[in-house]
Structures are given as structure tokens and as C-alpha cells.
Amino acid sequence: MTTPPASRARLRWEIAIVLALGLGQSAVYAIVQLAYRLTDSVPLADQTATLNPSRSDREIFDFVYQVLSIAFSLVPVLLVCFLLWQSSRPHLARLGLDGRRIRGDVGRGILLVLAIGIPGLALYATGRMLGMFVAVDPAGLDAHWWTVPILLLSAARASIQEEFVVLGYLFARLKQLGWGPWPIIIATSLLRATYHLYQGPGAFLGNLAMGLLFGWLFARSGRLLPFLVAHFLIDAAVFVGYPWAAATWPAVFGLPG
């Protein structure tokens, strides 16, 4: 069924608004931040990006700010669920979620972790030695009883926000606009790579490769859960395991002095 021109224009505006509320906004800021980093007097390899910084010097307010930040960052996800909700079950089928074959999807997500996680660490280590990555501190929080739960919630937030929008929503809407599979895969991969530019050019290349793999697999399967699982497990391992990794391999993971 061909989408009428008026509806196509409305879809384009809808996509622009959804992206401006979240990942598109992050992509613009990441481009500006990379320009700032590259023009700074401090070499890129000696700079640091903190992914989960403390938001207050008072513990209770730090905790409250962390929870609020995670909650409000998921509003674009609620929006795309609202936009693509179907009255009949499965309600979120257009996003690639149908509540079926959960065990198999989780298993495929774990396999994806093995396929992406190890090469990703190797890329980061190589990129740090070549000066293509800033030093990434995934856990800038002070040690509190709630630190690990908040880091796990942050990993879940990143997985849900990115995969719901980049894979589920954009694949559905761009397909409605008449885009073919590979233009969608390339466009969404470029978006994913761009909003990671604040970590340096190496992060762009790594996330571009990850986006191409995720996009190709999602186009074949149409199932979102494996990618939600894989993304969450990768980020959870990085966020929570970083202090140990930085202490074990300080030259690779340690922050500049």
C-alpha cells in the first residue's frame, strides 16, 4: 500500500520530532563535542568521557537526580510505543516485540554479546593506543549502596532507548516511507555511530560496525528482544566491571593522570 504524500510528510516530521527528543539531539551534541575535543590543546588520547557522572555532592540528591535522569530519558521510548501501538495483539508487533519465543531471543542476545563484546574491547584497546578514543569512564559515580543498581538501570536505559528507537521505530517508519532494507540499515547505523562521536573517531567506527550487524540481523528476523538483551549485557558488564578492568589494565582502561 502506497503512503499518500501528505502522510509521508507527516511521517518525516514525526521522525524528526522523535529524534530531536532523544538520540538525534545526542548526535548533534556529540558532533559539537568532538569538534571541541579535536580543537582542544589537550590531545584526544589524554581526554576523558564520563558516562555515568555523579550529579550532586549530596548522596540523596545524587540518587534522586540519577533516577529522574533515567526515567525522563525513556520518554521518547514511550512516545514511539504510543505511535506504533496496535489495538490488536501483539500490540508492539511493529516494533519487533510479540511476547513469543522469549527464551530463544534471550539466547540469541547472549550469542550477540560474544560476537560483539570481545571484538569491541579489542577495538577500544587498539584505538586507545592509536589515540582514536578518549579514555572512557563508564562509572563516574561514588561508591554508595545504590551505585550498582543505578549502573544496571543505566545499562537498561541505554539498551531500551537506543534499540526501541534505532531498530524498532526507525525501521518501521522508514519502511513506510518506501525505503529499502539496506538504506535503512546504513542510515540507522550512521545515526548510532554519530551519537557516540563524543568518545572519539574510533567509537564512530566501532558503533557503525555494530549498527550494520544489528541492522542486518534485525532486518532478517524482525525481532527486537535479542538486541535489547545484547545491548544491556554489554553495557552492564562495562559499567559495573570497569573499576576492576581499569585496575587490571591501567594502560588501556585507566584514566589520564
Q: What is the pLDDT of residues 114-125, one digit of tens each?
A: 888 778 777 777
pLDDT tier at 254 (50, 70, 90 boundaries)? low
The grid coordinates of residue 2 equal 502506497
Per-residue pLDDT, 58: 94
126 or 195, higher pLDDT: 195
Per-residue pLDDT, 253: 54
DSSP-assigned states of every residue in 99-120: S-SHHHHHHHHHHHHHHHHHHH
- Please write the tens of the pLDDT for every residue from 89-110: 999 999 999 989 999 999 999 9
Average pLDDT of the segment spanning 155-181: 97
Per-residue pLDDT, 64: 97
CA–CA distance from 181 to each of 7, 173, 185 (Å)? 21, 12, 6
Burial 30-67 (b: 16+ CB within 10 A, else e): beebbeebeeeeeebbebebebbeebeeeeeebbeebe
Residue 50 DSSP code: E
Average pLDDT of the segment spanning 170-175: 97
Lowest mean pLDDT among 47-51, 60-64, 79-83, 127-131: 127-131
6 or 222, higher pLDDT: 222
- In contact, 238 and 138? CB cutoff 8 Å: yes
Per-residue pLDDT, 247: 58
Phi, psi of 41 (to 5 degrees): -70, -25
pLDDT tier at 128 (50, 70, 90 boundaries)? confident
Distance (Å, rounded) from C-alpha 251 to C-alpha 256? 9
Lowest mean pLDDT among 51-55, 148-152, 246-250: 246-250
Average pLDDT of the segment spanning 174-203: 96
Per-residue pLDDT, 257: 46
CA–CA distance from 226 to each of 5, 53, 63, 157 (Å)? 35, 28, 30, 16
